[in-house]
């Protein structure tokens, strides 16, 4: 059977374009990007009332854009603007459908997407996966928050050669059913949310159950923490690949063949990393907010869009693969993945990485913040859990929080999934803003 995506001509054409342009020089990329920036800005100006009003108010016109510097004079758009005035910021593109993003930022946002954009999105991801040896038609097992009504919670999508496993009710008995099925199916790839992949790896490690050898693990949709990557590597002994992306399709950045750093895909969109003074980040190690401009979203254009996601700049060009792309060291906890301490510091949840023995005593956990300086750590204990273990956990967590939070431990029977079926590590109910002076300093500490 031919992989379904390969029957979509938009997918095939974009995949080919990405292959052909994979070795573009930095000049070729700059030419292409400037042309695309002019094109999408003109499209938004001519076809949406929202962008037109925004640019008129700022006294700029698409025809003024002759350089990247000119482009960077355009005002930003943010999530609240798009959420509150979606119709104004959208264009009447044929075949568009309304989609809603998850609330990882606490700001659920609707938008319009057209089929061609979506095909390019899938092809762009496939292009990046191909760097680590994946190709359409490879056998894959998927652990994502899908609702699957079959008794065994699995479905086989033949047209993608994909065995889909629901991570609702992701309990040991269910994981054992998936493991046995995998032994028959012999997947070459695992595709998962990092949190789901991690839970499954924990299960395999604890039970010692065999699993087929893999070519790799393709993670997406969530931050990948060190403790998750380490365990995935240990259990599956396979290459772990992750990309950064979002529904707005403004920025896509993935690992390459050789390096675990984020290579910003230049054909897909234009990414600016901007520090809190509004300056373009150019120093290795510096953190900035990702500002994205999509080349592929036309129904709801995203131009200089504030993603509220943060990345750490590494430099221009990857020495290992020699692509002259913008490279990010890591995606540093999305804003809504930060914790605010009593003294107003921001802590990245990456700082809450613990050694594995910490997690051995509990089945699952989640941080919850409703007020600054106060953290609730919810956990599902194992049968062997003791009061001494709880005291030790409390002490170690406080240490990681620099003894700068009021910490409450709460033993619970289960931790519900998000609407999209994710096991979320932190539920941050405060509205965090990037413009806080403490942020940059705290994250670099």
* Binding of Zn ion by 321 (CB under 5 A): yes
Number of residues in contact with Zn ion, rule: CB under 5 A?
Answer: 5
Cα separation, 406 vs 375, in Å, equals 6
**Helix, strand or coil for residue 179?**
helix
Among 256, 297, 311, 362, binds Zn ion (CB under 5 A): 256
Selection from 24, 19, 121 nearest residue 323 by Cα: 24
**Helix, strand or coil for residue 6?**
helix
Q: Are strands 239-244 and 326-331 parallel, antiparallel or unpaired?
A: unpaired
Residue 256 Cβ vs Zn ion, minimum distance, rounded to whole Å? 3
Residue 440 Cβ vs Zn ion, minimum distance, rounded to whole Å? 27
Among 142, 204, 299, 318, binds Zn ion (CB under 5 A): 318
**Binding string, 257-276, against Zn ion, x = CB under 5 A?**
--x-----------------
Given the complex with Zn ion, which of 165 and 219 has the nearer CB atom? 219
Cα separation, 68 vs 33, in Å, equals 9
Residue 265 Cβ vs Zn ion, minimum distance, rounded to whole Å? 12
Of the listed pieces 224-232, 320-328, 341-349, 361-369, which binds Zn ion according to CB under 5 A? Answer: 320-328
Given the complex with Zn ion, which of 254 and 381 has the nearer CB atom? 254
* Binding of Zn ion by 230 (CB under 5 A): no
Given the complex with Zn ion, which of 253 and 291 has the nearer CB atom? 253
Cα separation, 82 vs 150, in Å, equals 38
Residue 235 Cβ vs Zn ion, minimum distance, rounded to whole Å? 26
Of the listed pieces 23-31, 250-258, 333-341, 415-423, which binds Zn ion according to CB under 5 A? Answer: 250-258
Sign of the CA dihedral 341, 199, 141, 101? negative
Given the complex with Zn ion, which of 147 and 319 has the nearer CB atom? 319
* Binding of Zn ion by 183 (CB under 5 A): no
Tell me which residue has tokens 């040991």: 172
Given the complex with Zn ion, which of 318 and 340 has the nearer CB atom? 318
* Binding of Zn ion by 375 (CB under 5 A): no
Cα separation, 439 vs 123, in Å, equals 36
As to burial, measured by CB atoms within 10 angstroms (0-12 exposed, 13-18 middle, 19+ buried), residue 226 is: exposed
- Within a 10 A sphere around the Cβ of 188, how many other Cβ atoms? 19
Tell me which residue has tokens 């070459």: 188
Q: Please, where are the H alpha helices in 48-108?
A: 49-58, 68-71, 79-84
Residue 138 Cβ vs Zn ion, minimum distance, rounded to whole Å? 22
* Binding of Zn ion by 316 (CB under 5 A): no
Given the complex with Zn ion, which of 229 and 334 has the nearer CB atom? 229
Q: Yes or no: say if 340 and 404 are a contact pair by the CB < 8 Å rule.
A: no
**Helix, strand or coil for residue 195?**
helix
Given the complex with Zn ion, which of 30 and 321 has the nearer CB atom? 321
Which residues bind to Zn ion, rule: CB under 5 A?
A: 256, 259, 318, 320-321
């Amino acid at each position: 059977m031919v992989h379904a995506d390969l029957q979509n001509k938009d997918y095939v054409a974009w995949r080919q374009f990405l292959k052909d342009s994979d070795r573009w020089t930095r000049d070729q990329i700059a030419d292409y990007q400037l042309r695309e920036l002019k094109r999408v800005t003109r499209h938004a100006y001519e076809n949406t009332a929202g962008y037109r009003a925004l640019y008129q108010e700022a006294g700029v016109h698409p025809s003024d854009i002759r350089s990247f510097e000119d482009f960077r004079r355009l005002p930003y758009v943010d999530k609240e603007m798009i959420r509150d005035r979606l119709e104004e910021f959208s264009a009447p593109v044929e075949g568009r459908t309304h989609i809603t993003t998850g609330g990882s930022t606490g700001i659920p946002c609707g938008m319009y997407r057209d089929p061609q954009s979506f095909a390019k999105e899938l092809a762009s991801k496939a292009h990046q996966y191909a760097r680590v040896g994946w190709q359409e038609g490879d056998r894959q097992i998927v652990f994502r928050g899908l609702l699957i009504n079959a008794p065994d919670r699995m479905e086989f999508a033949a047209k993608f050669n994909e065995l889909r496993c629901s991570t609702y009710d992701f309990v040991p008995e269910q994981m054992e059913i998936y493991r046995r099925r995998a032994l028959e199916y012999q997947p070459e790839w695992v595709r998962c949310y990092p949190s789901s992949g991690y839970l499954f790896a924990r299960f395999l490690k604890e039970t010692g159950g065999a699993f087929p050898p893999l070519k790799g693990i393709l993670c997406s949709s969530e931050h990948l923490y060190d403790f998750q990557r380490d365990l995935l590597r240990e259990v599956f002994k396979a290459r772990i690949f992750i990309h950064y992306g979002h529904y707005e399709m403004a920025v896509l950045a993935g690992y390459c063949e050789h390096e675990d750093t984020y290579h910003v895909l230049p054909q897909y969109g234009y990414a600016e990393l901007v520090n809190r003074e509004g300056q373009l980040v150019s120093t290795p190690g510096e953190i900035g907010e990702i500002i994205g401009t999509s080349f592929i979203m036309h129904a709801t254009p995203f131009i200089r869009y504030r993603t509220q996601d943060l990345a750490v700049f590494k430099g221009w060009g990857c020495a290992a693969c020699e692509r002259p792309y913008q490279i990010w060291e890591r995606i540093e906890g999305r804003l809504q993945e930060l914790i605010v301490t009593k003294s107003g510091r921001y802590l990245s949840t990456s700082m809450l990485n613990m050694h594995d023995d910490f997690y051995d005593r509990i089945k699952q956990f989640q941080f919850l913040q409703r007020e600054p300086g106060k953290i609730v750590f919810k956990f599902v204990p194992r049968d062997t859990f003791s009061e001494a273990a709880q005291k030790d956990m409390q002490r170690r967590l406080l240490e990681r929080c620099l003894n700068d939070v009021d910490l409450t431990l709460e033993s619970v029977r289960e931790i519900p999934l998000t609407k999209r079926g994710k096991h979320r590590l932190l539920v941050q109910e405060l509205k965090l803003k990037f413009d806080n002076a403490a942020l940059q300093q705290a994250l670099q500490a």
